[in-house]
Amino acid sequence: MENEDLYGACHDWMTQRNIGFVNMMLPFYVSASCCHALNLENKKREFYFEHGQPADLRLHVFLAAPPGYMKTFILKRFLDRRNSIFGDSAIKTAFMGQATEAGFVGTINMIDGEPVQSPGMAYDFQDHILGIDEFSALTNTMMAEHSKNLDNALLTALDSGYLIKRLAAGEIRYETHLTLFGGSQPARFNLSSGLGRRFLFIFFVPTTKQQRDMRMFRRAGKGTIGDKDLDSRVFHRTSKLVTDMQGIKSIEYHDSIYRELDEIDVPHYEEPLFEKLALGYNLATKKVEKSFVVTMTPTIKEMWKLEKEWRHKIKSGAQDAQVIQFIEETPGISEADLKEKMLDFGMTFSDTAIAIESLRKQHRIGIIADRRDKKKRKRYLWPMH
C-alpha cells in the first residue's frame, strides 16, 4: 500500500462499511479536509498568496438533504471522535450544536470587578473541522435579539477568519481557521447575507431508485464492525499527507483548470470554491511536491459539473427543486399523490402547495385538471422543460 493515496484509502474505508453514495459524497468532503490541513500550513509558513495576502484555502461544505437522508450520518463518518475517517487523526475535528453570538465569538465577563475574556467556539476550535448537522438552528439563532451579530460573525469567521468584538468592558480579538461542515433540510434552507457564497453545496434529494438503494445500504451495514487495518491505513495516510504539506513551497494552477472554468462559466466570486475543490482533490490523490501544481482530471470535471448543478438548484429555490424533481421523475403525478410523497421529505401539504404554485408561475410545470367529477377536481402535474 506504499503508493496508495488518501482518497483511495478513504474510499475503501467507506465501501467496506457498506456506506451508500460514496462516489457522490466522498470526493467533496475529502477535498475540503485536505484544504483545511493545507490552509493551516499556509497560515503558519505563508507560502501561497493572493493579491499580496496569505490566501485562505478553506473549503466549507453544506449538505442539503431531506430528514433521514445522511446529514448527521455522513458528518459522523468523517468527524466523530471514534470510528470515523478523521476522528483522532492529524486533522482535528469537533461537533457544535446551537450557539448564540456570545457562544460562537466570545464575551467579556466581570469577575470581582475585573474584566475576564471568555473566547467562544470559534476560538476553542480555531484549527478544527467543525460539524453542525442542523445548520438551521444556528441561522434561526441569528434572528434572536441577543444574537443579531451572529450573522456577521459567521461571515467573518468563514471568510477572513478575523474576529473582533467590542464591548463596554473591553475588546475580544483573535483569528480562527476553523472549517465548517454543515447541513439542513431543503425546506428549512435559510442562508442569508452572503453565507451561501462561503459554502460548497451538496444537494441530495434521493430519487425513487436512490431511496431503494438507501434501504439496502442501511440493512447491509447492520453488524458491520470495520477493519482495524483499514483504520490504520487511513490514519497513516492522513498523517503522511499533513507531514508532506510541510514541504510545499509554492502552489500553481495549471492552464487546464482555467480552461475548464471558462468552459463551465461560473461567476467570478464562485471560482475560488471550484479552485479549492480541485486543489483538495489533487492533494488527496497525487504525490505532494515542493512546487505543487493543481491539474485537471475527469473526476474534478464531474465534481464541478455536479457542483454547478447543485448550486443552480439552491439558487432557484431549494424547496422548488425538491418538488420538481419528483414531477420530472413521475410526469403526470396527481397533486394529491405528490403532497403525500413530500410529507416524507419534510414538507407539509401547505409547503408543497406553495411550491407547486411557484413552479406554475415560473412556467416550469403544467397542470391538467380533471373536471369530470366536480367533487374531487383532481389535478395532474407535468414538467414543461
DSSP string, 302-342: HHHHHHHHHHHHHHH-HHHHHHHHHHHHSTTEEHHHHHHHH
Q: From 3.30.379.10, 1.10.10.10, 3.40.50.720, 3.20.20.140, which CATH number describes the 317-383 domain? A: 1.10.10.10
DSSP string, 94-146: EE-----HHHHHEEEEEETTEEEEEE-HHHHTTTSEEEES-THHHHHHTTSGG
Flag whether pLDDT at 147 surpasses 50: no
CB-count exposure of residue 252 (10 Å: 0-12, 13-18, 19+): exposed
CA-atom Rg of the chain in angstroms: 23
Confidence (pLDDT) at 158: 84
Cα torsion 199, 156, 180, 194 to 10°: value is -20
Report the relative pairing of strands 162-167 and 170-175 from DSSP bridges: antiparallel
Confidence (pLDDT) at 139: 57
Flag whether pLDDT at 192 surpasses 70: no
More confident residue, 2 or 345: 345
What is the tens place of the pLDDT at every residue in 299-347?
999 999 999 999 988 888 888 888 999 999 999 999 999 999 999 888 8
What is the tens place of the pLDDT at every residue in 25-65?
999 999 999 999 999 999 999 999 999 999 999 999 999 88
For residue 55, give the DSSP letter.
Answer: P
Strand partners, 63: 183, 202
Q: How confident is residue 159, by pLDDT bands cut at 50, 70 and 90? A: confident
Instruction: Report the share of the chain in percent with pLDDT over 70.
Output: 87
Strand partners, 180: 130
Window from 68-77, 152-161, 177-186, 219-228 with minimum mean pLDDT:
152-161
CB-count exposure of residue 186 (10 Å: 0-12, 13-18, 19+): buried
Window from 70-84, 227-241, 287-301 with minimum mean pLDDT:
70-84
Confidence (pLDDT) at 111: 73
Flag whether pLDDT at 228 surpasses 70: yes
Stretch 195-210: mean pLDDT, rounded? 88
Stretch 77-90: mean pLDDT, rounded? 88
Cα torsion 85, 38, 271, 14 to 10°: value is -10
Confidence (pLDDT) at 298: 96
Q: How confident is residue 270, by pLDDT bands cut at 50, 70 and 90? A: very high
Instruction: Report the share of the chain in percent with pLDDT over 90.
Output: 54
Flag whether pLDDT at 91 surpasses 50: yes
Confidence (pLDDT) at 235: 95
Separation of alpha carbons 72 and 182, rounded Å? 9
What are the residues whose beta carbons fall under 8 Å from the beta carbon of 43, sequence distance 6 or more? 54, 177
Q: How confident is residue 103, by pLDDT bands cut at 50, 70 and 90? A: confident
The amino acid present at 185, given as its one-letter code, is: Q
Report the relative pairing of strands 291-294 and 333-334 from DSSP bridges: unpaired
More confident residue, 327 or 370: 327
Flag whether pLDDT at 142 surpasses 60: no
Confidence (pLDDT) at 106: 77
Stretch 240-265: mean pLDDT, rounded? 96
Q: Yes or no: say if 270 and 277 are a contact pair by the CB < 8 Å rule.
A: no
Confidence (pLDDT) at 278: 98
What is the tens place of the pLDDT at every residue in 357-368?
999 999 999 998
Window from 130-139, 304-313, 351-360 with minimum mean pLDDT:
130-139
Report the first-to-last Cα separation within the chain, whole angstroms: 49
Mean pLDDT of the chain: 86
Give the count of beta carbons closer than 10 Å to the beta carbon of residue 137.
Answer: 14
Give the count of beta carbons closer than 10 Å to the beta carbon of residue 93.
Answer: 24
Stretch 166-179: mean pLDDT, rounded? 79
Coil/strand/helix, residue 170? strand
Separation of alpha carbons 63 and 65, rounded Å? 6
Regarding pTM above 0.85, the answer is yes
What are the residues whose beta carbons fall under 8 Å from the beta carbon of 138, sequence distance 6 or more? 98, 99, 132, 150, 154, 182
CATH node for 6-314: 3.40.50.300
Stretch 372-378: mean pLDDT, rounded? 70
What is the tens place of the pLDDT at every residue in 283-303?
999 999 999 999 999 999 999
- Alpha helices (H) along the chain: 6-16, 22-45, 71-79, 101-105, 121-124, 136-141, 150-158, 208-220, 228-244, 255-264, 271-285, 298-316, 318-329, 335-343, 349-361
Q: Yes or no: say if 169 and 110 are a contact pair by the CB < 8 Å rule.
A: yes
Q: How confident is residue 146, by pLDDT bands cut at 50, 70 and 90? A: very low
Confidence (pLDDT) at 145: 47
For residue 373, give the DSSP letter.
Answer: S
Confidence (pLDDT) at 191: 57
Confidence (pLDDT) at 195: 74
Question: Residue ranges per domain, the chain?
Answer: 6-314, 317-383
Q: Yes or no: say if 355 and 319 are a contact pair by the CB < 8 Å rule.
A: yes
